[in-house]
Chains A and B, each alone.
Chain A
Amino acid sequence: MIVRLTDVELAYGRDWSLSGIDLEIPRGDFLAIVGPNGSGKTTILRAILGIHSPKRGEIWWDKGRRFGYVPQRQYIDEIYPLTAFDVALMGRYSLIGPLSRPSRKDRDVTLESLDHVGVRELADRAYRNLSGGQKQRVLIARALAGEPDVLVLDEPTNDMDISSEASTMRLISHLHEAHKMTVIMVSHLLNVVADYARTIVLLSEGKLITGPAEQVLSTDSLRSVYSEPVDVLHVSGRRVIVAGGNND
């Protein structure tokens, strides 16, 4: 087990709260937190990371876990004159002593991480001049540079074209399968995670439904959550969720 939330209540500001959160994330899982914008997905993610304190309830973490956090791209202020390598190197900072400078090993691991996500050739390019997909890969490389066992991603495919979206999801899936890495990711798009996640946490109108992807992403289950008619189709071996059709 990586993390367990027991009867947790989360609040944000004065007007928003989500209560009754019970969630267990086993090692090796690929868990997706899905729901519309403003439903509290990122707040749950921040609670899992330990950077948002619950109002009530208990959160337990495995002492040996090491999170590699990939925030939303727009949270990285592009005013900073940093190369892709500089940004990725920050993933090593927690492993470098307080007064020490990055060692040869830190630089090598960072380059390997950039290589791993397919952007080593961009190492010396200004981060702010990269495309959305390239920036996302650099941020994933930054998380990997810290040698994590849990990869935590917040809306990793936001504002991407379909090609970059598919390529980013394939990369995350590869890290999960080939490197036995636990993945926790947030997305407001069910279709993005439908074919990759093993476990789904579905947030809608203050309700939280958790279960295996096949169970949560079934037509019956989704129709009980959404007021819109929803269908789950299988196209070319992929699960596709379509809203707004007939109820029959």
Chain B
Amino acid sequence: MISAFHDPFMRSALVASLAVGIVCAYLGVHVVLRRVVFVGATLAQVSAAGIGLALLLGLNPWPVSIALMLVGVAIFSLRSADRRVTRESLIGVGYVVASALAVLFVAKSAQGEAHLLDMLSGNILTVTSRQIIAMAVVAVVVGALHLGFGKQFLFTGLDPDMARTAGFKAGLWDLFFFLTLGVTIVFAIQIAGALLVFAFLVAPAVTALLITEKLSRAYIAAIIAAVVATVAGLHLSFLPALDLPSGPAIVVVLFTILALVAAWTRVR
């Protein structure tokens, strides 16, 4: 397996995928527990729409993508007082609108539709040193923020009313949580694509929550699942007999692990 990572581009792909996988697997536990799984997919599409808009206007994709993501985060972190409009509905509407805008922006940009496939499935083998450093910085900053404010994110996610009674600004902590998620997605999607980022947000967390009754162990199990899937997926994609696109290969391994764990927990 080590031989697959002799080439510098494969080592870069491995480091980048691990940085994306570890931080997304950790955040995914929060996302799954808060029952906002679809927000990951939607913020990924919002970010993709930002990249599409930047391509169309000939601008740097990161600032545009971040600006659109901030709008998405502000909307999705709202807890609607109107019982007819749930957060889930807002996220669903956001997803289809952002997906449509991403396609429209890219279709009208000079670079054309080749970028659309990269945004969706990613091309982790072409990752640059600059992207890796940026992703590593995001992973460290998000990790440090969650280490420092983990109890606030947990408390306001589980029981916002009790948290507000205890003096926590639940709405602001929600916004802060979604901000860390959104920033991670903006940087991750440009390395790994929307498909792999969404898979890292969902599959490791679901796998972990199937096998543990302790939250601290769930974070660790999710990260282990992401690391194993990243290494195995990249290795499989490199095998001459298979020669698979790397992102989808990692996704298949992620869901194979999930399926095996689900089967094991049923027969246990």
**A residues lining the B interface (CB < 8 Å):** 13, 46, 49-51, 67, 69, 71, 75-77, 79-83, 86, 90-91, 93-94, 96, 98-99, 101-102, 126, 142, 146, 152
Contacts and interface: CB of A to CB of B under 8 A. Distances in A.
B161 A83 contact: no
Bin chain B's interface residue count.
20 to 34
A61 to B, nearest CB: 12
Interface stretch (B151-159, B223-231, B235-243, B245-253): B151-159
Given A51-B164, A81-B215, A82-B215, A76 B158 contact: yes
B147 to A, nearest CB: 9
B142 to A, nearest CB: 15
A235 B217 CA distance: 53
User: Which interface residue of B35, B159, B212 has the most chain A CB atoms within 10 A?
Assistant: B159
A152 B162 CA distance: 11
A67 B149 contact: no
Interface in B144-190: 148-149, 151-152, 154-155, 158-159, 161-168
A93 B35 CA distance: 23
Contact of A90 (B155, B213, B217): B155
Contacts of A82: 158, 214-215
A94 B82 CA distance: 29
B6 interface: no
B155 A99 contact: no
A141 B217 CA distance: 24
A142 B151 CA distance: 15
B114 interface: no
A13 to B, nearest CB: 6
A77 B148 CA distance: 24
Nearest to A77: B158
Contacts of A81: 209, 212-215, 217-218
B265 to A, nearest CB: 13
Contacts of B215: 80-82, 86
Contact of A13 (B83, B148, B166, B209): B83
Given A51-B165, A83-B213, A96 B151 contact: yes
Contacts, number: 75
Given A13-B83, A81-B213, A126-B213, A90 B161 contact: no
* Interface majority SS (helix, strand, loop, mixed), chain B: helix
Given A77-B33, A77-B35, A50 B165 contact: yes
A77 B162 CA distance: 13
A183 B198 CA distance: 46
A142 B217 CA distance: 22
A46 B165 CA distance: 9
Contacts of B152: 93, 98
A80 B165 contact: no
B166 A98 contact: no
Given A13-B82, A71-B159, A96-B151, A79 B33 contact: yes
Given A76-B158, A81-B217, 11 more contacts: A46-B161, A49-B164, A51-B161, A51-B165, A79-B32, A80-B33, A81-B215, A81-B218, A90-B154, A94-B167, A101-B151
Contacts of B81: 13
Contacts of B83: 13
Given A13-B82, A76-B159, A93-B166, A99 B214 contact: no
Nearest to A70: B162
6 nearest A-B pairs in the assembled complex, by CB-CB distance: A94-B166, A69-B165, A126-B213, A99-B148, A51-B164, A81-B213
B149 to A, nearest CB: 7
B232 to A, nearest CB: 26
Contacts of B213: 81, 83, 126
Interface in B82-128: 82-83
